[in-house]
Structure 1
Amino acid sequence: MKRLLLLTLGSVLLISCKNNESDTESPYAQELQKNKIISVDIHKQADKLKQEGYQTFIYSEGDTTFLMQQYFMVFLKSGNSRSQDSTEAAKLQRQHLSHLSRMTEEGYASLLGPFEDDGDIRGIVVYNTRTLKEADSLANLDPMVKAGRLKVEVHPWWTAKGGKLN
């Protein structure tokens, strides 16, 4: 009986030591394991986006892997019809902001804003769409564009998925 008890205790100790080995892995080994998991997640996310019709590729630099996605940078430029009176211009501005809010809420616009200078390019909108044609169509729904106060210029643009401004 004593022998059975010692065998059982020895087995439990051996098993618990093996289970705790991962807790004492070096930080480097833990980072490698984390990167493997992230890499699998990135590939799954890339596959899902491609199935949905988005353009993506995976870029690795050293120990870092990025999921790159194609977005569409829309430059809002001064249009040919900017002679509206102040009341009409203010109404168009409200409708313009409402349109941009809707694009953001529906997940089409990822980044947007006006330029501070008074140049030809008045602002930008980065569209998260499958195609240039879709981004162009959404940008042309803007009441300011429809009124001719703004016009759009669309360019494909690549950036890391989930990137942020610092």
Structure 2
Amino acid sequence: MGKILRFTQLIVLPILGAGLLQAQSTTSVYDSTLAKKLKADDYGMKKYVMVFLKTGTATHLSKAKSDSLFAGHMANISRLADAGKLVVAGPFFKNDKYRGIFILNATSVEEARELVAIDPAINSDLLAVEFLLWYGSAALSETLQIHKRIEKKSH
């Protein structure tokens, strides 16, 4: 009896699982209006530019100067977010290479360079940047709107 039960589990459970997966995939609801608003392709994806922030060459600035540059950096982040160009930003935990990341709603590295061109921390070489095109979910563009609804404190 135990062998028959195991055989049934081996055959029936995977079939049921596959049926559930198929049922889930056929119940998704395509929203053409939202897809168009987010500039999604047929796969719900779009092009972004990742901006990796690293420690720059200006390592001997005074604390006051460094603080001032970072205040300008945060103001630039807010400006990009308000313009709908910043999708995600944040610092990395302590590591030997990267300080933080931006994901920009940009379709080329040239456009991304223009978007960060007035960032004082980048202009002063306090932060160095590395740009990389990335293909990700167009839904990522909604992240900041959701974030506003879940943050208790603002920077």
Normalising by the smaller structure, the TM-score range is 0.5 to 0.7
Change (3 A) 1:43 1:115: closer
1:45 partnered with 2:36: yes
How many residue pairs get aligned? The number is 118
Per-residue deviation, 1:72? 0.5
Classify the secondary structure of the residue corresponding to 2:116. Answer: helix
Per-residue deviation, 1:118? 4.2
Per-residue deviation, 1:42? 6.6
Q: Deviations over 1:62-97 (max 9, x none)?
A: xxxxx1001110001111112100110111111111
Kindly provide the amino acid, as one letter, of the partner of residue 110 in structure 1. Answer: V
Q: Distance in 1 between matches of 2:74 and 2:34?
A: 36
Structure 1: gaps (5+ residues): 1-27, 50-55, 60-66
- Give yes or no for contact 2:49–2:107 (8 Å, CA) kept in 1: no
Q: Distance in 1 between matches of 2:61 and 2:136?
A: 37
Partner of 1:52: none
- Give yes or no for contact 1:139–1:152 (8 Å, CA) kept in 2: no
User: Structure 2 matches for 1:4-19, cutoff 5 A?
Assistant: none
Classify the secondary structure of the residue corresponding to 1:58. Answer: coil
Kindly provide the amino acid, as one letter, of the partner of residue 104 in structure 2. Answer: Y
Change (3 A) 1:140 1:44: closer
CA RMSD of aligned residues (A): 2.6
Structure 2: gaps (5+ residues): 1-22, 147-155
Q: Which has the higher strand share?
A: 1
Per-residue deviation, 1:43? 9.6
Change (3 A) 1:75 1:44: closer
